[in-house]
Amino acid sequence: MAAEPDDKRRAFEEEALPHLDTVYRVALRLAGDEAQADDLVQETMLKAFRSWHQYRPGTNVRAWLLTILRHTFINEYRKRRKVVAEVDVTEVEAWTVFPAVQEVDPEGRFFDQIVDEEVLQAIDSLPDEFRETLTLSDVEGLTYAEIAEITEVPVGTVKSRLFRARQALQKQLYDYAVEMGYIKRREE
């Protein structure tokens, strides 16, 4: 009988644990701070271990872990999030930034001057569903189909959320770059 839990543990360590960095990064963006992310990740991995028998070998273990993470976040952590989303994504018009920079910086070189911390802070100011979609796509490189599976929405919804999230974030970063003097605001 002793061999059985050992096999389970070994399989979990070999297949699930390599995705710990991904789970942690997504948890950080969902939860908004390190202490909460720490707890959220521990709870997620423990739940995953306990329900390891439900995981079908050969299927997408990363998506499976991120689904558990997301459910844990929504059920227990969302209310505790300290950073409140302040960007109204519905206000974002299509292609807001390029027309403003095409004369002075059409290649978007100003982006490279923005420090990581500022980018993460801007991501954190997006509403939940846009923040999670953008994180899964642009931080973790998941496909639209994987994101649709994890966030339980149609692929078309992933597409439109990603579009609006990227545009809203771009506008935030542009405003920041203008404020910092990395780029001149277009003359009105």
What residues line the site for other proteins (CB under 8 A)?
1-2, 4-6, 8-9, 12-13, 17, 20-21, 23-25, 28, 38, 41-42, 45-46, 49-50, 94-95, 97-98, 101-102, 106-109, 111-112, 116, 119-120, 123, 134-135, 137-139, 141, 143-144, 159, 162-163, 166, 169-170
Shortest separation between residue 27's beta carbon and other proteins, angstroms: 9
Nearer to other proteins, 70 or 171 (CB): 171
120 vs 180 by CB, closer to other proteins: 120
User: What's the Rg (C-alpha) of the chain?
Assistant: 19
Distance from C-alpha of 109 to C-alpha of 179, rounded to nearest angstrom: 16
Least CB distance from residue 15 to other proteins, whole Å? 13
CA distance 94 to 114: 22
Please list, in sequence order, all residues whose beta carbon lies within 8 angstroms of the beta carbon of residue 66, skipping any fewer than 6 positions away: 22, 23, 26, 136, 150
> What DSSP element (H or E) covers 45?
helix 34-50
Least Å distance, CB 138 to other proteins, is 4
Min. distance of Cβ 60 from other proteins in angstroms? 17
| CA–CA dist 16, 45 (Å, integer) | 8
